[in-house]
Amino acid sequence: MSILDKSAFSIAESIKAGELSAVVVLDAALDRIAAVDGRPGSLGVGELSQEDKTKVHAFITLTEERAREQAENIDARVSAGETVGPLSGVPITIKDIYCVKDTPSTAASRILANFTAPYTATAVKRLEAAGALTLGKVNLDEFTYGSSTESSAFQPSTRNPWDMERVPGGSSGGSTASVAAGEALLSLGTDTAGSIRQPAAFCGVVGLKPTYGRVSRYGLIAFGSSLDCPGPVARDVRDAAMMLSVMAGADPRDSTAAREPIPDYLESLEKGIEGMRIGLSPDYMQITFPDPDTGELVRQSLPVEIREATLRAAEILAEQGAEIVENVPMPNTIYGIPAYFVVSRVEAASNLHRYDGVKYGCRTNSEFRNLREMYRKTRAEGFGLQPKLRILMGMYVSAAQYSEEYYQRALRVRSLIRSDFEAAFDPKGAYRVDALLTPTTPTTAFKMADIYGDSVLMQYADQLTVPANHAGVPGISIPGGVSDEGLPIGIQLLASDFKEETLFRVGHAFEQATADADWRRVKPQVLRDM
């Protein structure tokens, strides 16, 4: 058994006790990266080789020196008898949408390819202060705009460690793939419509979208400012809880980071779920997809394996003492994606105006006569097609003459989506659930190039995760089974504002109850011969 098969929690415990060296853990992680990752994502990469198609390609930038300095520092402090932090010696990766001082911070976009961050994001700073070893920056969809990681300007894009022909999901695909392949124990992702939970489901790992405002967004390159949530990717619930404990809390540099006390997540894990009310909603048990020919939206039933994994999870939780509440109505779930097409695009367009070739990032190399032409050429060369599509859409639906019809309407529908959750969680209401149990994704991981380019179909991959972003409530995806094709199936738990503790308790209880299940023994393809 490799050290990397242990949990982050147990590695940190061993390091704190002086039984394990952080440098040894780091070397194991670097060896794993060398064995499975292949060449890092870069610009202008050309055709992929056969070997490229057998590698994970999670990384854009490896920061080995930074990690080694951190590891040596931990070992020295432990030897000197000093107290070290809760993540001591735990190798982590950072989605390349966060600024980390003195490292390239690219957002997987050509327009930021030459940008070196002059400061470090709050979440990263807190992880490093807790003793984590920063292995590097991992790939994502350009500016996080996608659900497959394929839109990265840094190719080869990440592949799914369970099946190299398939996408890892996205946009935090590099994060979830690096954790699934054992290159890192933890990763820092972001979730705007499902960008942590959907790739976590596709890669068979745990991914948490905390409550909006639970974790500071300072140093996160913004997409949808009212939706973006930094959150942990881990291999089990305890590790995710440990990571959130370190990152959560108010930050004078983010005026949306709430002053909300941080409970002891690890302690609450063991409380069990006796008497908890867990809801199932019929509105999460059917899915909507655009017809490929007409573009009309069609309601379908969930794939049987995903439906069964969710219902089986409900039975297991009931055996652990939870009360299952069926038929919780969430009628506005179906409007999650249409409203998101409007709200997220308006925010994206606004946030992308800053990339203009003046203050930082790339400026066009071609000739220009004036400022306006410089803007035009820089933006035409610097942004990929997906950011351009989002900017055009955002400008259209927020234009003065269309704003009432689109933007204002979408914001009001957002209130309705929020009210579904408020009614379900209301302690005096008809349902009084502590958590909702749903599938995370409408399908398991799809094949590379199958969906990429169809921006509507790609967006609908987030249909079961996006309502939580509109509402702001926390959600977690945990592994819930493996399909006949050998692909992971994710199940999602949703709770009310700042009740991450509930998600961890339920998730942990499910993990304990399924620890010996056959599907837990199925490993990602990339690790099967190790």
Partner 1 sequence: MMDEITTELFEHLVELAAFAFNPEEAEYLRRELNQQLKAVRQLEAVPLDESIPPASHGVTYNSETKPELREDVWEPCDNPDEILGQAPQVEDGYIVVPDIPHTKLD
User: Which residues are the active-site residues?
Assistant: 95, 171, 195
Inter-CA distances, 403 with 313, 351, 389, Å: 43, 18, 18
Contact 240, 189 (CB under 8 A): no
Q: Give min distance, CB of 271 to partner 1, in A.
A: 24
DSSP string, 513-526: HTTT-GGGG---GG
> Which is closer to partner 1, CB of 311 or CB of 411?
411
Q: Which is nearer to partner 1, 58 or 342 (CB)?
A: 342
Question: Min. distance of Cβ 255 from partner 1 in angstroms?
Answer: 5
Count of Cβ atoms closer than 10 Å to residue 5 Cβ: 12
As measured in angstroms, the least distance from the Cβ of 147 to partner 1 is: 14
Least Å from the CB of residue 268 to partner 1: 20
Rounded to a whole number of angstroms, the minimum distance from the CB of residue 63 to partner 1 is: 18
Q: Which residues pair with 488 in a beta bridge?
A: 482
383 in helix, strand or coil? Answer: coil
Residue indicated by tokens 């400061």: 119
CA 302 – CA 158 distance, rounded (Å): 27
Nearest to partner 1 of 73, 226 (CB atom): 226
Cβ 234 to partner 1 shortest distance, Å: 23
Least CB distance to partner 1 at residue 385 (A)? 7
Whichever of 59 and 407 has its CB closer to partner 1, that residue is 407
Q: Report the interhelical angle of 385-398 vs 336-352 (nearest 10°).
A: 100
Tell me if 29 sits within 8 A of 36, measured CB to CB: no
Complex with partner 1: residue 77 or 409, whichever CB lies closer: 409
Q: At residue 48, what is the residue type?
A: L
Tell me whether residue 312 or residue 418 sits nearer to partner 1 (CB atom). Answer: 418
User: Which residues have CB under 8 Å from 27's CB, separation 6+?
Assistant: none
Q: Which residues, listed in sequence order, are joined to residue 207 by a DSSP beta bridge?
A: 233, 477
**Residues in CB range of 513: below 8 A, 6 or more apart:** 316, 317, 319, 320
Instruction: Output the smallest distance, CB 317 to partner 1, in A.
Output: 26
- Widest CA span in the chain: 72
The two structure tokens encoding residue 328? 């919780």
Question: Would residue 275 be called left, alpha or beta, if left means φ above 0 and alpha means ψ between -120 and 50 degrees?
Answer: left
Q: Is 92 helix (H, G, I), strand (E, B) or coil?
A: strand
Nearer to partner 1, 239 or 420 (CB): 420
Q: Could you tell me which of 58, 62, 60, 49 has the C-alpha nearest to residue 168?
A: 58
Residue 198 near residue 147, CB atoms below 8 Å: yes
Smaller CB distance to partner 1: residue 202 or 335?
A: 335
The Cα 435–Cα 276 span in angstroms is 8
